[in-house]
Structure 1
């Protein structure tokens, strides 16, 4: 306490405010600094209290006095060293001089706050992980929904086919094209394909027939197998032929077989990877045969958007007919409902978009919900409509 009354009140120099709150952790060492400026004829010593009791006997104190800027001013400083080792070291430390009081309150470190922060970080990581998994699993579904709802149906462009399919007339490629690719896209999703097993670019320049057929199709699909690459134009100059294909169609689609991918020439795979922005490369895997596989979703995204129409409207080859064509039913006496030919439709899909339907109007589905039934393919007469269906090749008949 002060030995003589001070004419002027001491001025607090350190800390900045008379009340300090600290949150030290166990094992830390604190130096509590209490510095006051005293006027002339003001003598006294600083005393420390810990929760109302004397602190100097428990903690180490260093006290010093020096002159201020003028001879009538003295600066009194006291530093109390507190080693926080136990829970008893937390509490209120008070520095006293006459009516000047400076308090340092040591709070226990809030473990619950750290736990909450850790739990929050784990929740954020969980949300990011779940979001990433959902993005990988549902990305194609979301893109398909967005395309089917807001995409361009491409129905007024004068094209007759949705895709031109070029494949090698080998056993594997022919079966894949006629028994997997074509039935799935046409019977399930209502696409209309033009198949061509001849050389796509047999000469140095595209033929007039090739240009005409390609101009009738909205997309170009190439079954790029080992047999396809053994064609003359592929062996001589695949790079030049690829760039010509890019000129024939917008973003052509190349389908590769996973079991043949490692045997493809390195120049071919490098060239395809270098043109990723101009073409679409799809890999047919063992699990791609499932209708819900990512292969079909990516292929549908690359193909035009299909429009579901009312029953009885649109091109009968574009609409799903459940494979009820009388020309394909054995021993059928039913007449051809369209004797003028495939193009003699009464109300074409390509003339105008479908009219707006009243609420509650039923729409046909773009394909049967079940798998394609091919159990009776052997008993059907394919020669009658070989120009369109092309389900088997000449040697297999």
Structure 2
């Protein structure tokens, strides 16, 4: 028991102890000044000083000490004085058991107070510092009471209740001549406003001297002041205390600690001779009266501080959410070695409710050929870009090349007589373009067999029948679109309708639109407007399109049938076609005027064809 008393008093006094050497007095242990029992009191408020020797009943008990013949004597050493003086008791300064009461305290009471417990054979003494503050030295918020002592703390679970009792109220009750009264004041968390009771809500209620919080909510957190008033010997005395109220998650919720990351058995790829950081994150719920919580790493069952290896270090950080902690601990391994791959790394969390642990391992990271992979990826991207550019610029040439290699010559798969039937407006400009440009290139340069009604029709036939026959015997219908094309009742309209019907019904004929001159959409007949939406349109751009290598002829060749025969066969076919036309030319000269007149006279076409 003696050793326990010694340790306790050393803790209270900060380790300072001395012994009196006066042989005429009993041996007296001087424990110096207690650093934990210092007292702050406001000038004009009731205050008291308790002897620290009796702060732990298991060490010293006042009743037991009195029974053993010990006397408690108080001295004081006021500021500015050198000698200790006995305390003169009065109506203002009195002693009640182990306490020295100052009712009220004044500024001149500031100083060191010594309580001495002694009998004939032993003596113990300890000092306490008392400081009486002036009103302008105390902590004060706008409209709030002044308070000298630090606030006590009250923790209340959300959606739960608790009764707040003003600190030291029972002590005042023992000294009062009647029951004390208490006034409560609340200041919100940002310290912007102080409200005296009532607080204008149904969840906080003063019941006699206590403040009852029935249902704790976040807005109720903050600082609560309680001022105790009591009467003694005809005078009115008071003191003010403060309570800091904080909300916590309800005690009914699970309070077991958990690890959020990593998962159990997780494998981290690492490279030897490099640094690695292993992160562990856990939740540590708060438990009232047992706030101790911890998160840590172990390596093969040993904590970092037990390894004696400078390559391992640990850093911790926490985030507070109404006293529940989200804790993060990072294990840093400098210069990872091959033997570290065989170690067991465990993250653990613990609070008063329980503990949890998860282990992880390290494995050698497979080294990828990053340089080779990057170069290959770069070359691939460059090639893809080049191919895209080549295709975007030369797609017509590529398509023609593909058709020449893999396309099917339609002359071997059908019984058509002509490759192209040209439909155009019968006027001098379009007729000149068709006869001198289109026909010449298609027949003489490209080797296609071309049908032109005014040239290839025989005299004496019916225009409607001849037109339908020519269209049916052709693989393509090439329509030269111009402002004067396909007026109602014209032969061009008959050719267009026959081509579209044949394309829609059998699919053996394809219609190609060649725009010779720009045409406003509203000026076209209905059939031609529909054809422009669904069919390919090749635009003639004057001098730019005259060369055989121009975009116009390339686009037109894409739409025309495939020709894979050699140049000699193409030339032979062209000469044979030209010879046949010369034979028939003499027999048709006499009919040219008749055909032209017929073409220009819409009423000669049967109504059914129109």
Give TM-score scaled by structure 1 length: 0.50
1:81 aligned partner: 330
CA 1:144 to 1:262, structure 2 compared with 1: closer, same or farther past 3 Å? same
Instruction: Kindly provide the CA deviation profile for residues 13-37 of structure 1, in whole angstroms up to 9, marking residues without a partner as x.
Output: x9749x964379999773494476x
1:30 aligned partner: 279
2:401 aligned partner: 145
Q: Cα distance, 1:55 vs. partner? A: 4.8
Q: Is the 8 A contact 1:167 1:228 kept in 2?
A: yes
Residue 60 (structure 1) aligned to one of 299, 315, 318: 315
Residue 469 (structure 2) aligned to one of 212, 216, 229: 212
- Long gaps (5+) in structure 2: 1-262, 281-295, 318-327, 346-360, 456-461, 597-610
Is it true that 1:228 corresponds to 2:485 in the alignment? yes
1:281 aligned partner: 537
Greater mean deviation of Cα atoms: 148-157 or 124-133: 148-157
1:171-182 to 2 correspondence within 5 Å?
171-182=428-439
Give the aligned length: 278
2:122 aligned partner: none
Instruction: Kindly provide the CA deviation profile for residues 67-114 of structure 1, in whole angstroms up to 9, marking residues without a partner as x.
Output: xxxxxxxxxxxx962469xxxx5545988xxxx944877999x9994x
Residue 154 (structure 1) aligned to one of 408, 411, 432: 411
Instruction: Considering fraction of residues, name the structure with more strand.
Output: 2
Q: Cα distance, 1:154 vs. partner? A: 0.4
CA 1:343 to 1:139, structure 2 compared with 1: closer, same or farther past 3 Å? farther
- Long gaps (5+) in structure 1: 1-13, 37-43, 63-78, 199-204, 320-324, 326-337, 345-382
Q: Cα distance, 1:188 vs. partner? A: 0.9
1:357 aligned partner: none
Residue 452 (structure 2) aligned to one of 176, 195, 202: 195
Q: Is the 8 A contact 1:90 1:107 kept in 2?
A: no
Distance 1:181 1:341 in 2: 17
Distance 2:570 2:512 in 1: 32
Residue 185 (structure 1) aligned to one of 425, 442, 446: 442
Distance 1:236 1:181 in 2: 20
Q: Is the 8 A contact 1:91 1:105 kept in 2?
A: no
Higher Rg:
2
Larger relative contact order (CA 8 Å, sep ≥ 6)? 1
1:8-47 to 2 correspondence within 5 Å?
16=265, 21-22=269-270, 30-31=279-280, 33-34=297-298, 45-47=302-304
Distance 1:49 1:172 in 2: 102
Q: Cα distance, 1:299 vs. partner? A: 2.1
1:297-376 to 2 correspondence within 5 Å?
297-306=554-563, 307-308=565-566, 310=568, 314-315=572-573, 317=575, 342=582
CA 1:45 to 1:275, structure 2 compared with 1: closer, same or farther past 3 Å? closer
Distance 1:225 1:26 in 2: 77
Q: Is the 8 A contact 1:238 1:268 kept in 2?
A: no
Instruction: Kindly provide the CA deviation profile for residues 282-321 of structure 1, in whole angstroms up to 9, marking residues without a partner as x.
Output: 22235333312333223223323332365799445357xx
1:226 aligned counterpart, secondary structure: coil
Instruction: Kindly provide the CA deviation profile for residues 123-161 of structure 1, in whole angstroms up to 9, marking residues without a partner as x.
Output: 444333322233334443344334334412406855443
Give TM-score scaled by structure 2 length: 0.35
Q: Is the 8 A contact 2:275 2:335 kept in 1?
A: no
1:223 aligned counterpart, secondary structure: strand
Distance 1:269 1:23 in 2: 72
